[in-house]
Structure 1
Amino acid sequence: MKRTTISLLAVTTALAAVTGFATLSAPGGDAAAPVAKAPTRLPVERAGLVCPAPSTSEVAETVYTSYTPTGTTGGPAKAPGTKADAPTAKLGPAVSGATRGGTSNGGKAKTPQAPATVTAPGKPVTAQANGSTAPALTGTATGTLAPGWTVQQSTVVEAGGDRGLLGLTCGAPDTDFWFPAASTSKERQDYVHLTNPDDTAAVADIELYGPEGALKSQFTEGIPVPPRSTVPVLLSTLTSEAAQRDVTVHVTTRSGRVGAAIGVADAKLGSDWISPAADPASTAVLPGIPADTAVVRLVAFAPGDDDADLKIQLATKSGTIVPAGEGSLHVKSGMTAAVILPDLTRGEAGSLILTPSDPKKPVPVVAALQIVRGKGENLETAFIPAAAPISARATVADNRAKASTLNLTATGSDAQVRITASAGSGGGQPSSKTVTVKAGTTLAVPDPAPQGLKGAYALTVEPVSGGKVYAARTLSLPLDGVPMFTVQTLVDDRGTVEVPSAREDLKVLAD
């Protein structure tokens, strides 16, 4: 064989290795077309979260619990001979911005006593911040600590107008948020907290909708949120109209992105956070109503051009039922509708399911519940927004021994779900089990703590097979006769992202 032939073969082999594919000659001399590969799901390499300022009370005690679940490997690929940056997952204070309609935290902000920095997947890390000067926090996780990173902010206020247990899963920054079940009534102090985690300014708009439609608003358009800062806005100062018991809040950004949550303080019913509801949809699931709930108030809003007629059902441990006397709700376009559901749970935990009364006429809605527990003057409130189904995995942190209950609801068909309790922040062994949730039912899993637990732990929920699964966690910390509690719906952690396959094409070299 001639030397030139050998050289050409070597070049061809090298090019095939570089491009990652080779062609095979068909009998007719034509090259077989390369087969396109399906997109691949890869772990995310970076995740961001924001936590609003927890409280303005001097007696507030706040715990942050930060956690990354195991089972997903993240981080950028390393080239041969190079060293990847060490993964991180940490929080830092956001500078307080201007306050609209109230007072800011004031004074010199104090950072948590520890940074709540996760060092390895599978073990929660906690930190504390007490008093009224605890700041809003922003945080970023990278590498192996990014997929599924979650932070829970839990605040106990023993006395005063903010009395209660306020719980919030710190959220990812975004550009669009819906909050049913807000209020501008005199008994309530509802603040929407806008937190900007980025190095550039954001501009936000706030729209308010009551039972008669959009409320006449002032100072709600073009609210600036400076870089790395937080701005709390008192809802009742944004409108000159009469106080409204039920209001839907829509937060959008003109530029940039923010984290958003509504802090609620009720003079008689206690305090908690309202988290964003799931995106508008014709079906809504509101999971995790505690068994001993005394009052359930459903608030819904139809953002489109059509009215919505909704069928109300309750998924209990034994099946789906229609609440007596309150089996439907009419929601006018652009207006907020509310209904009280008396004696709803009857001693059983459940989840509310809203579907179109006429399946042929689906209309998107957003919805949330305000629930009240207790008797007499010892009352406490919490909020349950409509949740999206868990597609792959969801985690909630800051669970405590004999204080946490996990509620799972399946729709469509039976579902198998894997529940993993992590090791505790102070020690203990993780545990995992698989349960079956019957279609149209709610399964309560009380105290799913791992063995030898010390400190707080995280719960991870992963659908294995079957129908859609919705989940919520109730954390109960009774104090002096008040049934203090908070409910967090579990949101899919989006720990992986779909990446389209790609290949090099030598034809581009000829262009």
Structure 2
Amino acid sequence: MNRTTLSLLAGTAALAAVTGFASMSEPAAAGKGTAQAAAVLPVERTSLLCPAPSTSDIADTAYTSYTPVTKGTRSTGTAELSAATEQSADGKSGSDKGAKKKTEKPVLTPKEPGTPVTGDTSGSDAPALVGTADGRFAPGWTVQETTEVAAGAGRGLQGVNCTAPDTEFWFPGASTDADRTDYVHLTNPDDSAAVVDIELYGKDGAIPSTVGEDITVPAHASEPILLSTLTDEKQPDLTVRVNVRSGRVGASVQALDDKIGGDWLAASTEPAGSLVLPGIPKDATAVRLIAFTPGGTDADLNVRLASPSGLITPAGSETLHVKAGMTSALDLGDVTRGEAGSLVLTPSDQSVPVVAALRVVRGKGSDQETAFIPATAPVGTRATVADNTSKGSTLSITAPGKTAEVKVTASAGSDGGTAVSKTFTIKGGTTQNVAAPVPNGGKGTYALTVEPVSGGPVYAARTLAATEEGVPGFTIQTLPGDRGMVSVPHAEQDLSVLQQ
């Protein structure tokens, strides 16, 4: 080992505290002679990307930013959301040689961890947003984008958690059906262009499309890609893979239906043999499971519902066979039958990695509305969701295995109030719609933070409901772990290497 190696170790330790570069896996066991275990520290930088909210002239969009208070952070830091624009000050593309990026006024600038900050916009020309937080604002930073559309395709309530940039995304549940208008929104936060492939998989396998190859997303820009421009096939159930060849992007699918509303479809968690899809509303009138396996082996899945009383098998929908490389779907009807529920998928035989999502419909006739629940990661250490109200929010928590104790904290309101916490026990194999706390004297919207205290892993989702001009709307966001903490390897100088 030489001095260059020592410098590299020090640089690696510094980078590990930055979201997007940090390794989330547990460090390897220390060998003989190594000193201390890795330290668990707050991340020092977080990036979030929000898609352009709507093409409707009558859309009203609210943004809510929140960072939970985290011990061990620096006393300083900043966070802001700004428009994703590649325009330079002289009107030329920001990717032109020598052009300077136009200075944009931030849409949101949080002032203090522990208190939500809100902003709003309206109409069809609201841009995508690029956000960065560092220091005390970085650990667990979350931004919710919620849009109300009173009429037209996708009318109702559309909500999405702004996402971190990555290099691969899976979206089971997209569609090119006649009644659907689905867009893949790609947002590039970086200073150089990203190159992306969009792959489509239907009931018979991969759908050839040269149009979806080598899509360039300019620096600090966002591109909505209409799925129907990538293929002429009309398929009700598609799996979309976003594969980034160069750079990083944030990706979300906007699914708009002419008859039953619409919502944002967030990416499924990484392919896995067992999956949990939490938070099916108790009054769901139609639930459809869409699944896909990217490998070369068929998957056979046991389908069970975690209800308030335990795990049950839906009659007539006990299993789902997913052919390798093909998208499969299963109609579950009104599977929850008036009770809170979450879907639990486990292998019937050998474990084969799959991705999955649910399309959920509430209401009947002309009052139907749609939302999506992707398979999600467990809460882990902590997870947060913003833009809650005391009357319009439902928090659902699932413990698919062992019984778990969970602390739920309601933050201060965006316009005042103080935080309140409650602890709940979720029995193994059940889903509970908990009576989540609300802030004392709270005004405005607030965030809910879920922290497991003991027991097995838990999964969570939040439903927002609102009525717009007589039309009931709803949207569902899952609560995967916020990745606010990271293991940083311990490194120290070993002067004996200088003698080698």
Asked if TM exceeds 0.5, the reply is: yes
Contact 1:374 1:482 in 2 (8 A): no
Distance of 1:96 and 1:374 partners within structure 2: 42
Contact 2:154 2:260 in 1 (8 A): no
Q: Deviations over 1:89-128 (max 9, x none)?
A: 110000279xxxxxxxxxxxxx999732112110000001
- Structure 1 residue 491: Cα displacement: 1.7
Following superposition of structure 1 onto structure 2, how do residues 124-139 of structure 1 map, counting pairs within 5 Å? 124-139=116-131
Q: Deviations over 1:453-489 (max 9, x none)?
A: 2001000011111111000000001234422000000
Tell me if 1:485 matches 2:474: yes
Name the aligned partner's letter for residue 77 of structure 2. P
- Structure 1 residue 193: Cα displacement: 0.2
Tell me if 1:342 matches 2:368: no
Distance of 1:443 and 1:381 partners within structure 2: 22
Distance of 2:315 and 2:440 partners within structure 1: 42
Following superposition of structure 1 onto structure 2, how do residues 159-308 of structure 1 map, counting pairs within 5 Å? 159-240=151-232, 242-308=233-299
Following superposition of structure 1 onto structure 2, how do residues 96-107 of structure 1 map, counting pairs within 5 Å? none
RMSD between superposed Cα atoms in Å: 1.7
Three-state SS of the structure 2 residue aligned to 1:509 is helix
Distance 1:36 1:113, change over 3 A: closer
Aligned residue pairs total 455
1:439 to 407, 421, 428: 428
- Structure 1 residue 421: Cα displacement: 0.4
Name the aligned partner's letter for residue 43 of structure 1. P
Three-state SS of the structure 2 residue aligned to 1:217 is coil
- Structure 1 residue 401: Cα displacement: 1.9
Q: Which residue of 2 aligns with 1:417?
A: 406
| Unpaired segments ≥5 residues, structure 1 | 1-32, 76-83, 98-110
Q: Which residue of 2 aligns with 1:104?
A: none
Q: Deviations over 1:227-281 (max 9, x none)?
A: 00000000011013x2000000000101000000001110001121000000000
Three-state SS of the structure 1 residue aligned to 2:173 is strand
Contact 2:82 2:106 in 1 (8 A): no
Distance of 1:457 and 1:96 partners within structure 2: 33
Contact 2:85 2:220 in 1 (8 A): yes
Distance of 1:72 and 1:180 partners within structure 2: 37
Name the aligned partner's letter for residue 152 of structure 2. G
Tell me if 1:90 matches 2:89: no
Q: Which residue of 1 aligns with 2:56?
A: 57
Q: Deviations over 1:486-505 (max 9, x none)?
A: 00000211111111111111
Following superposition of structure 1 onto structure 2, how do residues 457-472 of structure 1 map, counting pairs within 5 Å? 457-472=446-461
Q: Which residue of 2 aligns with 1:406?
A: 395
Tell me if 1:380 matches 2:369: yes
Contact 1:57 1:162 in 2 (8 A): no
- Structure 1 residue 46: Cα displacement: 0.3
Name the aligned partner's letter for residue 120 of structure 1. E
Three-state SS of the structure 2 residue aligned to 1:402 is coil
Q: Which has the larger radius of gyration?
A: 1
Contact 1:63 1:128 in 2 (8 A): yes
- Structure 1 residue 428: Cα displacement: 1.2
Three-state SS of the structure 2 residue aligned to 1:484 is strand
Distance of 1:198 and 1:500 partners within structure 2: 27
Q: Deviations over 1:284-329 (max 9, x none)?
A: 1000000100000000001111101111000011111000111111
Distance of 1:156 and 1:249 partners within structure 2: 26
Distance of 2:470 and 2:298 partners within structure 1: 43
Distance 1:145 1:73, change over 3 A: farther
Tell me if 1:317 matches 2:316: no
Q: Deviations over 1:421-440 (max 9, x none)?
A: 00000011110111111111
Q: Which residue of 2 aligns with 1:17?
A: none
- Structure 1 residue 217: Cα displacement: 1.1
Name the aligned partner's letter for residue 291 of structure 1. K
Percent identity of paired positions between Structure 1 and Structure 2: 59
Bigger mean CA offset, 442-451 vs 290-299? 442-451
Distance of 2:256 and 2:129 partners within structure 1: 21
Distance of 1:143 and 1:38 partners within structure 2: 24
2:139 to 111, 134, 147: 147
Q: Which residue of 2 aligns with 1:450?
A: 439
Using structure 1 for the length normalisation, give the TM-score: 0.87
Q: Which residue of 1 aligns with 2:386?
A: 397
Contact 2:380 2:480 in 1 (8 A): no
Contact 1:405 1:448 in 2 (8 A): no
Distance of 1:493 and 1:408 partners within structure 2: 16
Distance of 2:71 and 2:108 partners within structure 1: 21
Name the aligned partner's letter for residue 368 of structure 2. L
Contact 1:370 1:381 in 2 (8 A): yes
Distance of 2:195 and 2:110 partners within structure 1: 32
Contact 1:73 1:147 in 2 (8 A): no
| Unpaired segments ≥5 residues, structure 2 | 1-31, 88-102
- Structure 1 residue 446: Cα displacement: 4.2
Distance of 2:319 and 2:467 partners within structure 1: 34
Contact 1:123 1:422 in 2 (8 A): yes
Distance 1:112 1:225, change over 3 A: closer
Tell me if 1:333 matches 2:341: no
Distance of 1:73 and 1:153 partners within structure 2: 29
Three-state SS of the structure 1 residue aligned to 2:401 is strand
Distance of 2:429 and 2:217 partners within structure 1: 43
Three-state SS of the structure 2 residue aligned to 1:477 is strand
Name the aligned partner's letter for residue 83 of structure 2. P
Distance 1:350 1:232, change over 3 A: same
1:123 to 110, 115, 123: 115
- Structure 1 residue 58: Cα displacement: 0.8
Contact 2:38 2:487 in 1 (8 A): yes
Q: Which residue of 2 aligns with 1:71?
A: 70
Distance of 2:471 and 2:106 partners within structure 1: 30
